[in-house]
Structure formats: structure tokens, C-alpha cells
Amino acid sequence: MTAHVVRPMVNRDSQFFWDGTRAGELRIQTCNACGAKRFPPGPACQSCAAYDRGFEVAAGTGTVFSYVVHRHPPVPGKELPIVIALIDLYEGVRMVGEVVDVADGDDGPDIEIGTRLRVDFNTVDEELTLPVWRKA
Ligand SMILES: [Zn+2]
């Protein structure tokens, strides 16, 4: 078991997201007034400024918009390098996430712009489950 991981900030705006990962769901915040989707979650809609918000469960598929290979500095609980990507979800929002099992290809990271990904869930402990991405 890893002793330390970087724990995300969970607050009133993001609680639904972390409840979702615990349930094996990738949730996207939606506006109940106009239907706009948004990430990261926030209190008000960026399209119509309404506060009435809900969520939908994403299909869990996306493509790489861009990525970085993180080699330094050390990250608690992580063996470097790791790949962090901006992922365009099928639903039309862009999310940041770690892509696992691609950092150490024969010719560098085994990932490129447009690589298709599928979400997976990494249970850290009973309170925290982190979404991770794998090649589809
Ligand atoms: Zn709205």
C-alpha cells in the first residue's frame, strides 16, 4: 500500500465528483437551468450564471488533447515518470488526468495527441478513489 498520495481538495462543489469515483462513475457537472456541462466543478454556470446544478455520468472515454511527461520533482506516492494529460471527453468537456502504463515505452512515452483513452478507478482507501486513464 502506498503510504502517501496527493489528496484532492474535496469541497461542496466537488463532493459529487468524488462520490462518483467511489461508485465507479466519472461524473460531469451540469447546469440544471441551461444544460451546459463544465469541468472543473464550480458553484455557478459559466454560460448562464445559474446556481442550480446537477451531474451526468460520463461514458468514460476520451482522447488526448495534450500531455506532459512528469519526471521531476518527486510526487508523493508516485514512481516517476508519470504522464499527465488533458483529455477531451466524449461529452465535450476537457479534464486533466494521469494516464497509466504509458510512461515507459521503448521510444519514450507510448501516447500521442489523439490517443483514445478509457477511464479506470484506483481505490486509494475507503474515502478516496482516483480516476486514472488507460489506452482504450
Ligand atoms: Zn447554465
Look at residue 6 in the predicted model and tell me its pLDDT. 77
**Which span out of 9-18, 21-30, 38-47, 97-106 was modeled with the highest average pLDDT?**
21-30
Separation of 105 CA from ligand 1 center, angstroms? Answer: 42
Separation of 25 CA from ligand 1 center, angstroms? Answer: 23
Pairwise CA distance, residues 65 & 53, whole Å:
27
- Does position 100 have pLDDT exceeding 90, yes or no? yes
Q: What percentage of the chain reaches a pLDDT higher than 90? A: 76
Look at residue 102 in the predicted model and tell me its pLDDT. 93
Separation of 10 CA from ligand 1 center, angstroms? Answer: 23
- Does position 1 have pLDDT exceeding 60, yes or no? no
- For ligand 1, a single-atom ion, the residues with CB < 5 A are 31, 33-34, 36, 45, 47-48, 50
Burial (0-12, 13-18, 19+ Cβ within 10 Å), 88 = middle
> How confident is residue 55, by pLDDT bands cut at 50, 70 and 90?
very high
Cut 0.85: pTM above it: yes
